[in-house]
C-alpha cells in the first residue's frame, strides 16, 4: 500500500512538472508570436508612412540590424535619396572636441577697446564732433560679443555639422513615434526597445523590414 502511494505521488509530481514545462513553452511561444506580429505590424506601418522622414529612417535601420550609421551620413543619404548605398561604420568613433568661438584674451581686448571707444565718443560729443566711425566700430564689436558669448560672458562653442544632423534625425523619429504611440503601442514599444540614437544610429535586434 505504501509503495502504491509513493508511485501515485511520483506520478502526480511528474504530471505537475510536465504541466509547468508545457505552460512555459506556451508562454514562450505566445511571446514569440506577439513579437512577430508586432514586427509585421511595424513593417506595414512604416510602409504606409513612407512619406515621413522618421519612418523612412527607422525602416532603413530596421532592415540593417546591428549596423551603425553616422548622423551626417544618414542626412546626406536622405537628402540625395541614396539610402541604399549608405556605408555603415564602427561604434568606437572618437567624439570631436568642441571648438570655442573665441578665447578669453580676445574678449579682454575687445572689452578694453569698447571702453576706450566709449570714452572717445564722449569726448567727441563734448566738442560736437562727428561720432559716426566710432559708433560703427562700437556696433561691430558689440555684435561680435553677441555672436561669440552667452549671457554672463560665457564663450559659445561651435556646433558641429553632425550635431545638427543628429538633432534633425532625432526630431524626425520623435515625431513619428509620437504619432503612433496611442494607436500602435506595440510598435511604439518595439521601436523604443530596439532603436539606439547616439553618436551613431543603430537598430539592435532582429530584422524587421525586408
Quote the percentage of the chain above a pLDDT of 70: 68
165: closest CA among 197, 120, 195, 209?
A: 197
129-151 tens-digit pLDDT: 888 888 999 999 998 898 889 88
- pLDDT confidence bin for 7, thresholds 50/70/90: low
Give the Å distances, CA to CA, from 148 to 31, 123, 136, 208, 209: 55, 29, 18, 46, 46
List 203's β-bridge partners, or say none.
195
Please state the pTM of the whole predicted model.
0.51
Q: Confidence class of residue 21 from pLDDT cuts 50, 70 and 90?
A: low
Interval 39-70: pLDDT, tens: 778 888 888 888 888 998 888 888 888 888 88
Output the CA–CA distances (angstroms, integers) from residue 54 to 31, 51, 195, in the order listed. Answer: 27, 9, 12
Q: Which helix (H) or strand (E) holds 195?
A: strand 195-197
Banded pLDDT at 4 (limits 50, 70, 90)? low
Q: Bridge partners of 100?
A: 157
pLDDT at 174 over 80: yes
Please give the pLDDT value at position 49.
87
Task: Give the number of residues written for the chain.
Answer: 210
Cβ atoms of 156 and 98 closer than 8 Å: no
Residue 109 CA: distances (Å) to CA of 106, 115, 142: 5, 10, 13
Amino acid at each position: 500500500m505504501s509503495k502504491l502511494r509513493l508511485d501515485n505521488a511520483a506520478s502526480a509530481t511528474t504530471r505537475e512538472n510536465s504541466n509547468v514545462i508545457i505552460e512555459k513553452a506556451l508562454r514562450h511561444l505566445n511571446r514569440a508570436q506577439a513579437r512577430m506580429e508586432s514586427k509585421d505590424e511595424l513593417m506595414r506601418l512604416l510602409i504606409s508612412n513612407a512619406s515621413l522622414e522618421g519612418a523612412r529612417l527607422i525602416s532603413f535601420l530596421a532592415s540593417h540590424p546591428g549596423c551603425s550609421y553616422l548622423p551626417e551620413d544618414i542626412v546626406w543619404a536622405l537628402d540625395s535619396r541614396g539610402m541604399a548605398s549608405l556605408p555603415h561604420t564602427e561604434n568606437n568613433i572618437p567624439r570631436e572636441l568642441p571648438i570655442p568661438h573665441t578665447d578669453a584674451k580676445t574678449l579682454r581686448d575687445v572689452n578694453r577697446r569698447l571702453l576706450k571707444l566709449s570714452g572717445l565718443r564722449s569726448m567727441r560729443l563734448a566738442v560736437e564732433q562727428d561720432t559716426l566711425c566710432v559708433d560703427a566700430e562700437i556696433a561691430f564689436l558689440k555684435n561680435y560679443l553677441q555672436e561669440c558669448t552667452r549671457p554672463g560672458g560665457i564663450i559659445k562653442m561651435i556646433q558641429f555639422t553632425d550635431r545638427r544632423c543628429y538633432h534633425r534625425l532625432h526630431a524626425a523619429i520623435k515625431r513619428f513615434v509620437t504619432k503612433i504611440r496611442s494607436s500602435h503601442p506595440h510598435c511604439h514599444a518595439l521601436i523604443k526597445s530596439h532603436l539606439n540614437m547616439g553618436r551613431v544610429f543603430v537598430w539592435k535586434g532582429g530584422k524587421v523590414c525586408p
